Amino acid sequence: MILITGAAGYIGSHCALNFIENNLDDIVIFDNLSTGHIETVEQLQKVAPKIKFIKGDLRNKNEIENLFKKFKIDFVIHFAALSQVGESVVNPVLYYSNNVIGTINLLNSMVENNVLKIVFSSTAATYGEPKYTPIDENHPQNPINPYGSSKLMIEKIMDDYDKAYNLKSIRLRYFNVIGADEKARIGEWHNPETHLVPNILKSAFKKGDEFKIFGDDYDTKDGTCIRDYVDVVDLANAHRLAYEYLNKNNKTDVFNLGTQEGQSVKEIFNISQEVLNKKIDYKIVQKREGDPKILLANSSKAKEILKWQPQKTTFDSIKNAFEWEKILNSKKASN
């Protein structure tokens, strides 16, 4: 059985759906629902009624120990984490306790139960300010916020657990994840929302609430920041390939997941207008602190070794995100 932690959240739920749709549906989901949603789990259970859900918190050792007693787990995919950069700066204790201590509890239960394979949701935020671009996996890791630090600490702990206990891990370092399930069963649902694409789309629903571009005087082609936007369904595929790779090769490794195609905030904004087929109001405001001007992944390793190939265009991703956003908006209206 596969344990997926954090599958009530954005990326975890798309990964669970991808596994289910590829006949890997012997799954137990473990999530404390602090940022994830029970409705998301229910959607997954509609597709695969047999998947199990346990509400629980990785910081609580008993809960995680009981989980391993109750189910015959043989593989873990670990998403459960807090992931807001700004919040991590103001409240680092949350990030070190949820992300780091929570993961240590998980890894300890794994080792105790002889479950020695894990795919881990890491991030480009572990690299910090880019020294060169595109960023490959050997780029120095000097995170500039507690969120990135918490994920880097976990990577290092996983290295030590590999040496000491033979626990093998694949760490996937994501760049900017966008998009939603093509059938709009699940999608991005953060509260508060800080990310670019959902913020653009949300502003289109709210009259008088303009979308804000954080700075237009960066040293880039149009003055706005450049990022590497990767579709969440493509990302979910990468997790399944990583699962298969680890099962087959039993080897610790790390992969960047991005497209190596940089797009500026203005470009994403323009594509969003095309998707909506209307003008969206916006204003330029001050730069957001800690935003590097460009973040671009070199993902050739994932393409070569995992045989991963991102498929979606940015237009498709934003279109799917928009279909999902409509549903989210109608939920709010009916509440």
42 CB contacts (<8 Å, ≥6 apart)?
none
Binds ligand UFG by CB under 6 A, chosen from 96, 165, 205, 214? 214
DSSP assignments along 66-114, one per residue: HHHHHS---EEEE------HHHHHH-HHHHIIIIIIHHHHHHHHHHHTT
- Residue 243 a catalytic site member: no
Q: Tokens in use for 323?
A: 């279909």
Cα distances (Å, whole numbers) of residue 175 to 55, 230, 297: 28, 7, 7
Q: State yes or no: cis peptide before 192, omega within 30 of 0.
A: yes
Position 171 contacts ligand UFG (CB under 6 A): no
In whole angstroms, the minimum distance from the beta carbon of 125 to ligand UFG comes to 3
SS3 192: coil
Contact 76, 119 (CB under 8 A): yes
* Active-site residue identified among 95, 127, 147, 161: 147
Binds ligand UFG by CB under 6 A, chosen from 77, 81, 82, 225? 225
Residue 215 identity? G
**Considering beta carbons, is residue 183 or 288 the nearer one to ligand UFG?**
288
Each residue 79-108 as x (binds ligand UFG by CB under 6 A) or -, in order, gives ----x-x-----------------------
Position 206 contacts ligand UFG (CB under 6 A): no
Position 195 contacts ligand UFG (CB under 6 A): yes
**Considering beta carbons, is residue 28 or 186 the nearer one to ligand UFG?**
186
Residues in the site for ligand UFG, rule: CB under 6 A? 83, 85, 123-125, 147, 176, 194-196, 199, 212-214, 225, 227, 265, 288, 291, 295
Any idea which residues carry the catalytic annotation?
147
